[in-house]
Structure 1
Amino acid sequence: MTLELLGALGKSFLFVIAALLPILNPAATAPIFLGLTEGASPATRALLARRIARNMFWLLLGAMLVGSYVLEFFGISLPIVRVGGGMIVAATAWRLLTATQATVDSRTELAESFTPDMARRQAFYPLTFPVSCGPGS
């Protein structure tokens, strides 16, 4: 009986990992993370990566446990959430396409001034949500 439960738990764990991996897409998120933290030290990047991973865990767990209740409370249907997520992705893409050189320079200045305290403050937004764990997840 115990071996059957462990086998089922192992299969479920692998299924969850296989389902979340394409949605979270760490291979595509890593270059964005590196670009946004361009001037940061390796220790600051490591601190930030751990904090982002912890934030993503809590965000996904919270969405899984109470997300449907929150949507039901506010009377929001799932198709509306999909449209809103698509609009967020489109707005972000448009902003990236129409970025001026001044915007790029200010981002470089921001990245060069990364400190561990600043990394702690900006770990959730924008690095955890919507960059790493966005509307699709």
Structure 2
Amino acid sequence: MDGNGPYERYYAEREASGQRTVLWPWALLALVVPLLLVRSFVVADEPAEATATHQAAPAPAREAEQGVHRAGVDVEPGTWTTDGPGSGAECGYTRTAADGVEVASARLHGPAAARFLDGESVVLTGGCTWTAG
């Protein structure tokens, strides 16, 4: 290099104007970074052991209440029935296909049945208890 690069000029101008170059942040980094690297590799006094175990997925539920459920995962696909909400109350459901398109929805004041297909998301609202038929 010829000594006229941007850094050389910057430091030469600072020196000519009487300004000192501050080195303490770089010195601090030079001390802290290696310590952090060493600390990241030293986890404990004992070597880590594998703790993962294979567990079968839980079976989909046959009874559901208010909330968001995924047919085939959270709840069993098929025909579901409800006795409806209590007197003067309302409950309902909204079925959404895997691609996010709403398939069906209903607001209920009495007994009802609905078919939940595998892969659909089902949002149950109100105080109804739904049971797989």
Normalised by the length of structure 1, the TM-score is 0.18
Normalised by the length of structure 2, the TM-score is 0.19
- Normalized per residue, the structure richer in helix is 1
Q: Which structure's relative contact order is higher, taking Cα pairs within 8 Å and 6+ residues apart?
A: 1
Q: Which has the larger radius of gyration?
A: 2
